[in-house]
Amino acid sequence: MAPNDPGAAALPAAGGSVEIGFLVAKCGNCDLLGNSYGQSAHSEQQILQALVDDQNKHGGLLGRKIAPVFGVEDTASPNFSTMLQAICATFTQDHHVHAVVGAGFGFSDILASCLAKAKVPIIDAMRTTGVPDTVDLRTYPGYFVSGEPTLDTYSLAAYTSAIADGWLTTKSTLGVLNYDCPASVRVWNHVVKPYLAAQGIKVKVDYTSSCLTGASDVGRAAQDVQQAVLKMRANGVDTVAITDVPLVVFATSAESQDYHPKYLATEGGGPSYEQLVTGAQIKNIHAPGWEPAFDLNTTHQLPRTTTQKACLAALTRGGLTGQVPSEYVLYFALCSGWDLYLQAAARAGDVTWDGVLGAMNAISTSFTSPFLLDGKTELGQSKHAAAVRYRTEVYETSCSCFQYVGPTRPIP
């Protein structure tokens, strides 16, 4: 590489500081779903700052003090493209970060492309909406997802798990809510649709909504979901593939119409549904889950693992007081992405693009995540999305909560 190639950037002299970018999400319009939705005692920035402070107390990054640079994704932003361009300018022009770690609210090739041009790897610890597919990850080899599978397998798992559990059969009348985002279209046309055809399952209604481009689209998106309810109900759909906030909106509208289909959610997140979906609808949700802290409520969590205990201890040392179980999903997700980067940099002995990417591929299955089911990951060459195992979660009336049921299975 040429000396002025960002990928060849050397560490500052020992005793100096090294800039690392941290991507954080802010749900500026979450009040649309109720005053409690999206609220937490600590922000992502506070959690990441505590992890940085702890690491700086223990030698920093390869003997250099870590200087954090924060970029904030806000769901209330009127134009997501403009927001992401500004964030990348902060990371690569106003500052010269060596990597980006953290969690926004949806994958975007705007940020991925900008960081790739600057030879800045990104470790995406958690996506609240939208993950990259295999095409995206091949296009951007410096993009790693430490807490999710690819969009291909993320989408497919809803169907494979439902078929394995008997929730979806050839007798089902299936309705699907899709989006016209490029990756979503690719996955539907080239992965999910052929799979369903091979299983002999016909889609009665394929309702496509427009990809969100900013906060101004939220009202239109909600109307699309409500229109999907009307169309699916009119066509006798008894099973709906949908997830996250759209599922909440769909279930609320369906309840008002005395319509009670089954729901195939493309990921877990039971505690969110417990807060926002009524009992008559909630018992019909079936989902694959690979993030126990996200899938199970605070009174039904699995026993703490060694890496989870280490995460909580690091946050305490970093000064994050008042830790609460309801935020474990944030703690463990952000610890996972941060630990992955620290281990890669330590293995590489530098912070260059080539060094970190090579170390990431070498770590592969040896990295243990505090966020994922059983801590199992796979991050080898050309597979930069870590989640590999899931369990089914369904609503149990005995505890009024979501619980894991059945065996641990490989994510398809």
44 plus 158 within the same structural domain: no
* 362-395 pLDDT per residue, tens: 987 889 999 999 999 988 766 788 999 999 999 9
Instruction: Supply the pLDDT for residue 6.
Output: 45
Lowest mean pLDDT across 246-250, 273-277, 378-382: 378-382
* pLDDT of 110 above 80: yes
19 plus 38 within the same structural domain: yes
H/E run at residue 158: helix 151-164
208 plus 131 within the same structural domain: no
340 plus 272 within the same structural domain: no
Highest mean pLDDT among 12-21, 72-81, 233-242: 233-242
Burial 272-306 (b: 16+ CB within 10 A, else e): bbbebbeeebbbbbbbbbbbbbbbbbeebeeeebe
Which residue has tokens 């109720």?
34
Contact by Cβ (8 Å): 67, 22: no
Evaluate whether residue 411 is within a structural domain: no
> Which residue blocks in 257-394 are alpha helix, DSSP H?
270-276, 279-282, 292-295, 306-317, 328-348, 353-363
Evaluate whether residue 395 is within a structural domain: no
* pLDDT of 397 above 50: yes
Evaluate whether residue 382 is within a structural domain: yes
Evaluate whether residue 398 is within a structural domain: no
> What residue numbers bound the domain in which 336 lies?
6-149+303-390
* Alpha carbons 313 and 228: distance in angstroms, whole number: 46
* Alpha carbons 181 and 280: distance in angstroms, whole number: 32
Evaluate whether residue 12 is within a structural domain: yes
55 plus 112 within the same structural domain: yes
Instruction: Supply the pLDDT for residue 403.
Output: 97
203 plus 239 within the same structural domain: yes
Confidence of residue 10 (pLDDT cuts 50, 70, 90): low
* Alpha carbons 145 and 124: distance in angstroms, whole number: 5
Instruction: Supply the pLDDT for residue 347.
Output: 96
Lowest mean pLDDT across 3-12, 206-215, 252-261: 3-12
For residue 333, give both structure tokens: 């997700």
161 plus 125 within the same structural domain: no
% pLDDT > 70, the chain: 92
pTM for the whole structure: 0.91
Confidence of residue 3 (pLDDT cuts 50, 70, 90): very low
Number of residues in the chain: 412
212 plus 159 within the same structural domain: yes
Evaluate whether residue 50 is within a structural domain: yes
* pLDDT of 36 above 60: no
Instruction: Supply the pLDDT for residue 98.
Output: 96
Among residues 237, 263, 289, the one where a domain terminates is 289
As for how many domains the chain has, the answer is: 2
72 plus 122 within the same structural domain: yes
* Burial class of residue 59 in the structure, from the number of CB atoms within 10 Å of its CB (0-12 exposed, 13-18 middle, 19+ buried): exposed
* pLDDT of 284 above 50: yes
CATH number at residue 235: 3.40.50.2300
What DSSP assignment string belongs to 308-321? HHHHHHHHHHTT--
The residue among 50 and 25 whose pLDDT is bigger is 50
Lowest mean pLDDT across 31-40, 68-77, 99-108, 307-316: 31-40
Among residues 262, 289, 316, the one where a domain terminates is 289
119 plus 182 within the same structural domain: no
Evaluate whether residue 369 is within a structural domain: yes
Among residues 289, 324, 357, the one where a domain terminates is 289
* pLDDT of 12 above 80: no
Nearest 5°: the CA angle 49, 52, 54 is 110
Instruction: Supply the pLDDT for residue 4.
Output: 40
Lowest mean pLDDT across 96-100, 222-226, 283-287, 308-312: 222-226
Instruction: Supply the pLDDT for residue 2.
Output: 37
Distance of CA 352 to the CA centre of its chain: 26
232 plus 185 within the same structural domain: yes
Instruction: Supply the pLDDT for residue 221.
Output: 79
Evaluate whether residue 298 is within a structural domain: no
140 plus 51 within the same structural domain: yes
Confidence of residue 126 (pLDDT cuts 50, 70, 90): confident
Spatial neighbors of 220 by CB under 8 A, at least 6 apart, are: 210
| Among candidate residues 382, 349, 377, the one with its CA nearest the CA of residue 363 | 377
Lowest mean pLDDT across 28-32, 112-116, 185-189, 378-382: 28-32
Q: What is the mean pLDDT of residues 191-215?
A: 89
Q: What is the mean pLDDT of residues 138-155?
A: 91
Nearest 5°: the CA angle 384, 94, 216 is 70
* Alpha carbons 70 and 97: distance in angstroms, whole number: 10
